[in-house]
Amino acid sequence: MGSTPVGTTMENIMKIVYMSDLHLEFGNNFIPNTDADVLVLAGDITTAVGFLDNPTKAERYHTFFREVSKRYRHVIYIGGNHELYGWNYDSAHMLHIYHALSPYKNIKVIPSYGYIDIGYVRFIGGTLWTSMRNGDQIYASIAKKGMNDFRWITPEEVFTIHKETVKAFDVLSRDHDKVVVISHHAPSHASVHPTYIGDTLNDCYYTDLSNFILDRPQIKYWIHGHMHHRVDYMIGSTRVVANPFGYVHHGENTGFDPEATFEI
Contact 81, 43 (CB under 8 A): yes
Say how far apart CA 98 and CA 109 lie, in whole Å: 5
Q: pLDDT tens, 212-226?
A: 999 999 999 999 999
Question: Can you give the pLDDT at residue 252?
Answer: 72
Question: Can you give the pLDDT at residue 31?
Answer: 86
Q: pLDDT tens, 110-124?
A: 988 999 999 999 999
First-to-last CA distance in the chain?
21
- Percent residues over pLDDT 90 in the chain: 78
For 214-242, what is the mean pLDDT?
A: 98
Query: Which residues partner with 115 through β-bridges?
Result: 124
Query: Which residues partner with 181 through β-bridges?
Result: 124, 222
Span of 47-51, 57-61, 173-177 with lowest mean pLDDT: 47-51
Q: Per mean pLDDT, which of 25-29, 91-95, 149-153, 244-248 is the most reliable?
A: 149-153
- Measured in degrees and rounded to the nearest 5, phi and psi for residue 185 equal -75, 155
161-162-166 Cα angle (round to 5): 115
Three-class secondary structure assignment of the chain: CCEECCCCCECCECEEEEEECCCHHHCCCCCCCCCCCEEEEECCCCCHHHHHHCHHHHHHHHHHHHHHHHHCCEEEEECCCHHHCCCCCCCHHHHHHHHHCCCCCCEEEECCEEEEEECCEEEEEECCCCCHHHHCHHHHHHHHHHCHHHHCCCHHHHHHHHHHHHHHHHHHCCCCCCEEEEECCECCHHHCCHHHCCCHHHHHCECCCHHHHHCCCCEEEEEECCCCCCEEEEECCEEEEECECCCHHHCCCCCCCCCCEEEC
Strand 179-183 to 261-263 pairing: unpaired
Say how far apart CA 52 and CA 100 lie, in whole Å: 9
Q: What integer best gives the mean pLDDT of the chain?
A: 91
Q: Please classify residue 106 by burial: count the beta carbons closer than 10 Å to its beta carbon, then call 0-12 exposed, 13-18 middle and 19+ buried.
A: middle
Question: Can you give the pLDDT at residue 104?
Answer: 97
Name the band, by pLDDT with cuts 50, 70 and 90, for residue 57.
Answer: very high
Question: Higher confidence at residue 1 or residue 165?
Answer: 165
* pLDDT at 6 > cutoff 60: no
Amino acid identity at 174 = R
* Alpha carbon separation from 3 to 47, 181, 229 (Å, rounded): 27, 16, 32
Q: Per mean pLDDT, which of 48-52, 80-84, 116-120 is the most reliable?
A: 116-120
Domain ranges of the chain: 3-263
Name the band, by pLDDT with cuts 50, 70 and 90, for residue 7.
Answer: very low
Strand 219-224 to 231-235 pairing: unpaired
List the CATH code of the domain at 3-263: 3.60.21.10
